[in-house]
Amino acid sequence: MQADSLLVKGSREENIKGLAVQTFGAQFADVEVDTLTGNVRVKKVVAAHDIGRVLNRQTLENQFHGGIMQGLGMALMEERIMDYDYGKMLNANFHDYKIPTMMDTPEIEVIIVGEMDEQANNMGVKGIGEPAMIPTPGAIGNAIYNAIGVRIKSLPITPDKIINALNNN
């Protein structure tokens, strides 16, 4: 039995000279901070982005959810711990290197701003993979600042950093 095959060839036109195609967005986070333990719970993230034409709404929202969860991990838990004397990462496994789980997932609201961008390309689409992740740590950091009145300037924003910031304020 011979397997069916599919041969596809694709191309795209050059970018328009003198024009930068950009994806723009803004995000907002609602958090709860326990000032006794320093624990943070992200309750909701609202993400509004201009991403051009939407080809598949479900896939688009999945990209948002994945990017926002990556940003949440960067903001609150992902931290590489190194033994610089030996050049060894001390938390090189999923037991010690913390990443978000389903229990950490907040409510996520996706707002699409804009429509097909005819100058972007022949499909009028822009990317959303990384743009969904990039503003998330800042949104969460600002929400924590609004909750406790102290700005923490390094990631991840861990419970010990919150307690130290509150005690030194």
- Which residues are tagged catalytic? 130
Residue (of 57, 34, 38) closest to 111 by Cα position: 57
Provide the β-strand partners of residue 46.
28, 109
Hunting for tokens 């950009």 — which residue is that?
Answer: 22
Residue (of 135, 103, 111, 100) closest to 61 by Cα position: 111
Instruction: Determine contact, residues 114/50, Cβ cutoff 8 Å.
Output: yes
